Amino acid sequence: MKRVSILLLLLAGCTAKVTPQTLASVTSLTGDPAGGAPLYRQHCLECHGVEGDKDKHAVLPDILSKASDKEVEQAILAGPFIMPSFQKKLTPQQVADVTAYLRRTWGSSPPPQ
């Protein structure tokens, strides 16, 4: 029982709350795919892979076909499930740049709002 509780605490620690102000500071920016490419290589490649499908539970081309840019940016900031939060590691512009890189790389348009 104790082992399960510790595991739950560790998993819960992998996500961060994103304030509306923080999210708004990202969504108001225009991302630059060229700026997002090196950030993806540095922070995302190890888990998501070159084709964005290394983790079968987080296949980026599939996610991008269903998620809006705002949802993608919130996921980058908050770190859903076991993905770490990048809220304190990336600037708002860098989050916007990574999102633009993801869109350009996998050619997915955000779904209609």
What is the full per-residue pLDDT of the chain (113 aa) written as tens digits? 333 333 333 334 445 688 888 888 888 999 999 999 999 999 999 999 998 888 877 788 888 888 889 989 999 999 888 889 999 999 999 999 999 999 999 866 766 65
Token digits for 108?
A: 């997915």
- What is the C-alpha to C-alpha distance for residues 36 and 13, in angstroms, rounded to an integer? 26
Question: Residue 89: its pLDDT value, please?
Answer: 94
In degrees, to the nearest 5, what angle opens at C-alpha 7 toward C-alphas 85 and 62?
45
For CA atoms 16, 19, 21, 26, give the dihedral sign: positive
Question: Residue 102: its pLDDT value, please?
Answer: 95
Q: Which of 57, 103, 99 is nearest to 74 (CA)?
A: 99
Q: Which domains does the chain have, with CATH numbers?
A: 2-106 (1.10.760.10)
Q: Which of 104, 75, 76, 105 is nearest to 91 (CA)?
A: 76
Average pLDDT of every residue of the chain? 82
Question: Residue 10: its pLDDT value, please?
Answer: 36
Token digits for 6?
A: 């510790």
